[in-house]
Amino acid sequence: MKPILIKDIKQPYKEMALIEMKKQRDFSDENLRLTEAVSWRKTILGYCFWDKVNREIYPEITPEIKAKFPSVFKDEMSDKYKELNLFLILEGLELLKDEFEKDFDRELGFQFENKDAILRSPTRRNLLVVNNQIDIINEIINFKTK
């Protein structure tokens, strides 16, 4: 088996190898063989992982591996973060809508149990705004999943 050069490793494994090399040697050089570039046992992922890469058997990139190399997977992590933010915003808007609807009677308008409720309660217009925001976020989420 011929040792593979780092420059011949497919991405993202190549970038991960260069990061590991930089940690161990204070420089990175993609023209080195993977077997010479790093001590596999001293890497985050260990001997078995890099031995497979060296044989061009690319192990699955798990969420745990992605978390160990955030600079390599930043775009993907950023997308997941954005999706989580959209989900949290949607959940918050749904809760807000539920609160608005508790005080809103379709025929009589807003009804309040006590004076303090007036301070925290929205107008009918605010209820419509929240409903509109929920629709917009649902469209964004549905567009991303198509």
Residue spans of the domains in the chain: they are 6-68, 74-145
- pLDDT at residue 106 in the model: 55
Q: Are 93 and 130 in contact (CB under 8 A)?
A: yes
- pLDDT at residue 68 in the model: 86
List b or e across 60-69, with b for residues whose CB sees 16 or more CB atoms inside 10 angstroms: eeeeebbeeb
pTM above 0.75, yes or no: no
Average pLDDT estimate for 12-16: 94
Q: What is the pLDDT of residues 66-84, one digit of tens each?
A: 888 888 887 765 566 566 6
- What 3-state DSSP class applies to 109? strand
- pLDDT at residue 110 in the model: 53
Q: Which amino acid is at 86?
A: L
Q: What is the pLDDT of residues 18-61, one digit of tens each?
A: 999 999 998 889 999 998 888 988 888 999 999 999 999 999 99
Q: What is the pLDDT of residues 88-136, one digit of tens each?
A: 777 777 766 666 666 555 555 555 555 455 445 555 556 666 667 777 7
- pLDDT at residue 74 in the model: 77
